[in-house]
Amino acid sequence: MPIPHRSQGVLFPEIVAMAIETVRDQKVRSGLTILGVVIGITSIVGSTSLIRGLDQSLRDSIRALGPDTIFVSKFSPVSLGSGRELTELLRRPNLTPDDAEAIEQQAESLDSVDIVLGQGGPPTRERVYFRSEQTKQLNIFGSTANYPEVFRVDVVEGRFFTPGETRRRASVVVLGQTPAQALFANTDPIGKRVRVGDQRYRVIGVLGETPSPGGFNMGQDDFVVIPQTTYQKQFGIRAERMFGGEMRAVMIAAVPREDANRETAVADIERVLRIRHRLRLDQPNDFDLLTQDAVLELWDRISGATFLSLIVVSSIALLVGGIGVMAIMTISVTERTREIGTRRAIGARRQEILWQFLLEASFLTVVGGVIGVLLGSSIGIAVHYITGFPVSLPWWSFALGLGFSASVGILFGLFPAIKASSLQPVDALHHE
């Protein structure tokens, strides 16, 4: 509702001055009111920055594997997310190296196939030793010579092991960045002898850093890779009994040929495994095929639900702040009844009184919103610098925070403002 021209030039500065004076005179009440808004807006901006940062980081990591890479596992998060019972999934047959070999030989649409032992199930973790130096507990993976191609990682020093070394169970190892830096920071590692568990290996290569957008270190480089046949000789295929079933750390990954699309490759893998597992036409797959699109779709559901939950929690804090605004403005109306009566008696219109109290309420919440935006951003930045957790601060999160805070002021300040503007001058002047 527009304010008459005769009052516009003086009314707004007066209202701002009154609001500042109210905050100053009623420090405790105003501070508690602002605090509720601050907590809510801080939660919104802080959680948005962290979730957006993690979202971008994971999406970049998933895309780094390539859009066509197909992962085969006993079961995947997609099955769990669909409501399937874990006990049912654990009763599925475990994948084996023979499954990977059959896929490689019989699926004509595939370019390369790799099996990774020690991934997708109970991990194999050991320290790596070099002379008097040792690493922390690392993941030990067994794979084929196709590992760099399938998982799109570079060998930055030396080389990867060959199919021949895999066949003869050679005692060779390729280091991830973490053990390479821990043991050979100032030394050429190639050709050196290290001990993995109780076995000695010759270092033949070092892998480059695994992409980590946002600088968030999730231990993605804390591993070594040995030939899968050597892995089986030393560790076997790790299995863990749980919920009436068994989980083995076996995962198969495949990349289609350039002239074959992903859908054809998926169908080829399904055909080979269904025949090997002797499944009838009316029986569903007893394995999962996971693609980039499926992973991104799953993450969309998870991140969306998480973001919604945090918004709900933050909204509760804002609701508390809004109730505080209503309470303090209602008290303010009561305490200033004679002042309102005097203003009405000398010609102030109802609209001017209404706007006065609405702007006062908005002033309180916007102050809380500004503090909340600054505090939420600072928390996000601090978390990033302390932990390396990826953070994103989109401009719309600031606008969202300030918009919410202003809306809270208007919404919860409306009732006291209407109450104030409805006071009759005679009644207000006789108020005790």
Residue 315: pLDDT band with limits 50, 70, 90? confident
Select from 250, 209, 243, 211 the least CA-distant residue to 228.
250
Parallel/antiparallel/unpaired status of strands 172-175 and 199-207: parallel
- Cα separation, 237 vs 324, whole angstroms: 61
Confidence (pTM): 0.63
Checking if the pLDDT of 252 tops 80, the result is yes
Checking if the pLDDT of 8 tops 80, the result is no
Return the minimum-mean-pLDDT range out of 298-307, 311-320, 332-341: 332-341
Select from 86, 61, 73 the least CA-distant residue to 289.
73
Burial 318-329 (b: 16+ CB within 10 A, else e): bebbbebbbebb
Return the half-sphere exposure (C-beta side, CA atoms, 13 A cut-off) of residue 112: 14
Q: What's the average model confidence in pLDDT over 293-316?
A: 74
Select from 268, 320, 267, 237 the least CA-distant residue to 38.
320
pLDDT score at 9? 41
**Of 12-16, 120-124, 222-226, which one has max mean pLDDT?**
222-226
Whether the Cβ atoms of residue 62 and residue 296 lie closer than 8 Å to each other: yes
- Cα separation, 432 vs 292, whole angstroms: 72
Residue 385: pLDDT band with limits 50, 70, 90? confident
Q: What is the pLDDT of residues 412-424, one digit of tens each?
A: 777 766 766 665 6
pLDDT score at 226? 95
Say which residue the tokens 């050429």 belong to: 188
Return the half-sphere exposure (C-beta side, CA atoms, 13 A cut-off) of residue 139: 20
Checking if the pLDDT of 429 tops 80, the result is no
Burial 395-431 (b: 16+ CB within 10 A, else e): eebbebbbebbbebbeebbbebbebbbebeeeebeee
Average pLDDT over all residues of the chain: 78
Burial 237-270 (b: 16+ CB within 10 A, else e): bbeeeeeebbbbbbbbbbbbeeebebebbbebbb
Checking if the pLDDT of 96 tops 70, the result is yes
